Amino acid sequence: MCPSPGTDGVDRGYVIPIGGAEEKLSNPTILTKFIELCGGKQSRIIVIPTASKLEDTGQRYVDLFHELGAGEVVSIAIETRSDAQRDDYLEELTRADGVFITGGNQLRLSTILGGTKVAQAIRRLNAQGTHIAGTSAGAAIMPEHMIVGGGGGSTPREDGVTLAPGLGLTNSFIIDQHFRQRDRLGRLLTALSFNPFVTGIGLDEDTAAFIDASGVFEVVGSGAITVVDPGNLEYSSMGHVRSGDAVTLIGLHLHILAEGARFDSRTRIACMS
């Protein structure tokens, strides 16, 4: 699934995956930057709490965004696939400067939103300039391919990851979250071994990639982003290993990028700002 076609003369909005557990009180750098991108006091932000089973998740983010200086903030309670077809929710989305997708269970998110009018609207709005942010499960669902599950550990294994279709806001990256905290290098490497076309990004908690319209991202937050670039991969054993076996990958390029560093998905070059 490729991102929706853009509009001539209009830059795509930012795509902002967050590694989860973003700071909300003492130094909310990520959320503050998102609000500023959306227009600050003039912004209109829609919160989608679908991934969470907690009834107050949407309202907590509404209150938080107001406290951080956002203008109008609305949570739309999409609990079923029929909710994701509602005209009033689609109307709310069409007037958004930014959309924020909360954390929770990414399969709950994809099975409710996937293929619906709301999912189509999010893709279309991003192509027309609306900024889309998501934390934890909300980050995982952003690319064309979504990491759903897999064991911890640093070694890629034949059965080390489960994938499902994502929203398709980018087809340049595959994203994993809570990365260092939950030791997820192995499952990201496994995902890349299936088809080393995309770049893998592993987001630490309280860390975000602000991906611009040209496919360049800047790191924001207190942790780091692990970038795994398979562009010059020389060899992968994934095609013939037995179930559960470790996978050999030769020629990967790895970067550890902290706040202020950048990565260009087109040139595959990392640098400091």
Between CA 233 and CA 129 the distance in angstroms is: 34
Contact 129, 95 (CB under 8 A): no
CA distance 106 to 94: 24
Give the Cβ contact number of residue 190 at 10 Å: 26
Angle at the Cα of 40 (from 37 to 45), degrees rounded to 5?
75
Between CA 244 and CA 247, with CA 245 as vertex, the angle to 5 degrees is: 125
Amino acid identity of residue 174, one-letter, is: I
Give the Cα separation of 95 and 98 in Å (integer): 9
Side chain identity at 151, as an amino acid letter?
Answer: G
Distance between CA atoms of residues 246 and 251, nearest Å: 16
The token pair that represents 156 in the structure block: 């890629």
**171 three-state secondary structure:** coil
Active-site residues, by number, are 136, 178, 205
Q: For the chain, give the number of residues.
A: 273
Could you give the CA distance from residue 246 to residue 238 in angstroms, rounded to a whole number?
A: 9
Determine the angle formed by the axes of helices 57-67 and 29-38, rounding to 10 degrees.
80
The residue assigned the tokens 């759903």 is 148
Beta bridge partners of 132: 15, 99
